[in-house]
């Protein structure tokens, strides 16, 4: 696990992106994902959480030039090069959640943010998280894969993965 501290510029970019996403969604009356809030402060909080998670991984991997390049949500697209999709949770003890219909070619990264502390816990390819043992439905009606943090590869292992593929 790695803790990330944003620069003032990174923090400002996260806020601007979250507001842009919220405005875009409200203008088009788009529904919140998985029953999430669509309008107001709670919806903006969700956008802030997501944008901050993406910034954390991009900053850690040196990929900030590729951040926030899409102006609308595109199903199947990746947050960052390397088929990276960042999943951000609001408590440090929480598991990585991967939806059943998430893309099988992606690598899922878990970031948690709690009390303004940002942690990158690790990553896992879809094929390793799409297992029967990780299926759960703790909220009722929203089954998904809940991957324990101990199953994730350490963030540092990403560089080794990339080198092996070259």
Residue 96 DSSP label: E
> In which region does residue 135 sit, left (phi positive, over 0), alpha (psi from -120 to 50) or beta (all else)?
beta
State how far the Cα of 137 lies from the Cα of 144, in Å rounded to an integer. Answer: 7
Model confidence over 21-40: pLDDT tens digits? Answer: 888 777 766 554 555 555 56
Residues with pLDDT less than 70, the chain: 28-40, 73, 160-166
Check residue 53 and give its pLDDT: 98
**Axis crossing angle, helix 8-27 with helix 40-61, rounded to the nearest 10:** 140
**Model confidence, pTM:** 0.88
Residue 31: the pLDDT is 59
Contact at 8 Å (CB) between 56 and 118? yes
Q: Where are the domains of the chain?
A: 2-165
The β-bridge partners of 3 are: 119
* 102-116 confidence digits (pLDDT tens): 999 999 999 999 999
């Amino acid at each position: 696990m790695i803790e990330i501290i944003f620069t003032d510029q990174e923090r400002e970019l996260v806020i601007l992106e979250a507001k842009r996403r919220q405005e875009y969604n409200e203008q088009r009356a788009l529904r919140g994902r998985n029953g999430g809030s669509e309008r107001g402060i709670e919806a903006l909080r969700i956008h802030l959480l997501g944008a901050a998670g993406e910034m954390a991984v991009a900053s850690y991997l040196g990929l900030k030039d590729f951040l926030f390049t899409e102006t609308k949500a595109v199903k199947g697209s990746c947050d960052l090069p390397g088929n990276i999709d960042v999943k951000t949770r609001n408590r440090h003890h929480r598991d990585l959640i991967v939806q059943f219909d998430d893309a099988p070619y992606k690598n899922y990264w878990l970031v948690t943010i709690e009390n303004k502390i940002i942690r990158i816990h690790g990553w896992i390819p879809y094929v390793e998280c799409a297992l029967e043992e990780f299926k759960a439905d703790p909220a009722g009606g929203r089954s998904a894969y809940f991957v324990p943090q101990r199953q994730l590869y350490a963030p540092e292992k990403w560089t080794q993965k990339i080198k092996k593929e070259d």
